[in-house]
Amino acid sequence: MDINRLIDTLMRLFGRKLIDVAVKKGIDYAASRGKPEGEMTDAERAQAAAGRDMADRTKQIRSATRRLF
């Protein structure tokens, strides 16, 4: 195995890990934005909970599609 191929393989490996972490952090950041829990009304709390559930589902879908490709 030549050095260029080895470097390319390592870069792909670390690149995937970096992108995986970045996407995960981005989803968490988008799902957690908004008012603090103490300032929310009941309707806003329900909407925030739905948003967190959607973020969890998005992570599951991301994992499933990553396995396919």
Q: Tell me the pLDDT band of 59, cut-offs 50, 70 and 90.
A: confident
| Residue 20: its H or E element | helix 3-32
Residue 33 token pair: 């934005």
Q: What's the pTM value of the predicted model, to 2 decimals? A: 0.61
- 14-53 tens-digit pLDDT: 998 999 899 889 888 888 777 787 788 888 888 888 988 9
How far apart, in Å, do the first and last CA atoms of the chain sit?
25
Residue 6 token pair: 């080895």
8 Å CB contact between 27 and 58: yes
